[in-house]
Structure formats: C-alpha cells, structure tokens
Amino acid sequence: MTAVAAGALAVVFAMAVAGKVSRPAFTRFRRSAAALWPVPGRLGARPATALAAAVLLAEAAVAAGLLLVGIVAPRPVFSAAVLLLAVFTAAQILALRRGRAVTCACFGRTDTSVSRTGVARNAVLIALGLLGAVTADRPGTTALSLVCAVAGGVAGLVVASLEDIVSLFRIPPVPAKGAGR
C-alpha cells in the first residue's frame, strides 16, 4: 500500500508543481494563495509571493520525496504531504465557511473555485498519505511495488482531476420560462 499511496501522491504533487511553474500560472497561484490567506485583511504582494514560493517549493520537495520513497525514509515524506494537504484543506474550508468565492489555483487552473469537491479530494489524499505512513515499514517485492506505484499514479491522476470529472456530470440549470425576453 505504501507504493500505491506514494505513486498517487507523487503524481498529484507533481501535477500541482507543473501547473504553477510558468510565470502566468505562478501569478495566478500567488493571487489565489493571497485570497485564501486565513487572517482577515489583505496579504501584500511580497508576502503573497513568498507564501506562494514556499508552497511551490514544499510541493516540489514532497513530490521528489514520494518518488524516492524506496530510498528515503517514507514516514517523514508522507507526514509532510499530509501536513501540506491539511493546511490546504483548512484554508478551503475556512473560505467556504466565510462564503467567499475564491479561485483555487491548486493545479495552476483558474476556472476552478474552492468547493466541497476540492475538500473531498483533499480528504482522500490525506487518507492516502496516512495509509502510506502507516504501511511504510512493510516491505514489498520490487516488481509488485512498481505495479502498485503505477496504479497509484493512475489513481492520483483521477483524484487530481476530480473537479473536472464531477463537472462532466453536472446538469446545467434550465432557464425559467420567459427568461431573457
């Protein structure tokens, strides 16, 4: 299970980093991070840039650690992933509770707003991180670990794309009769 969790989370964190590295994407993410800042008041440009850069570096470190989970100590890597995801989830929940419509640039996209779907996605990822940490000391065969890591990577792609998948099945509202006249 460690390999499945590591594969899934590595893909998710790598997608998050890849989606934010271009200048326009990083700028969107910086704005999103500032908007999700939990303390009332506006977060200035420099602190928002520092926050966004720190998050990006932390995500990159976690992605790299998860890719090397067979070489590095897995528990600290899974713990870092869970901690990051918990912070992201708390910020999203706080924005939802405050009724704030905030764009989430979690994966560099700008058309996704903070939603219960994003919170659910993060809950699944946190559970995967906890599962990976709990099962980290159980050795597996190399071939089986590779298969599990690939399966986990595919699962990570699905979970990271959860909001897009949900939107495919969302039924658009029907306009009321006489609307638009």
Query: What is the 3-state secondary structure of the chain?
Result: CHHHHHHHHHHHHHHHHHCCCCHHHHHHHHHHHHHHCCCCCCCCHHHHHHHHHHHHHHHHHHHHHHHCCCCCCHHHHHHHHHHHHHHHHHHHHHHHHCCCCCECCCCCCCCCECCHHHHHHHHHHHHHHHHHHHCCCCCCCHHHHHHHHHHHHHHHHHHHCHHHHHHHHCCCCCCCCCCCC
pLDDT at 158: 64
* φ, ψ for residue 180, nearest 5 deg: 85, 10
What pTM was estimated for this model as a whole? Answer: 0.76
CB atoms within 10 A of CB 136: 19
Of residues 81 and 148, the one with the higher pLDDT is 81
Q: How far apart are CA 154 and CA 1, in angstroms?
A: 14
pLDDT for position 77 = 92
Please, which residues bridge with residue 113 across strands?
103
> Which tens digit of pLDDT belongs to each residue from 78-129?
999 999 999 999 999 998 998 878 888 887 766 678 888 889 889 989 998 9
137 three-class SS: coil
> Does residue 149 have a pLDDT over 90?
no
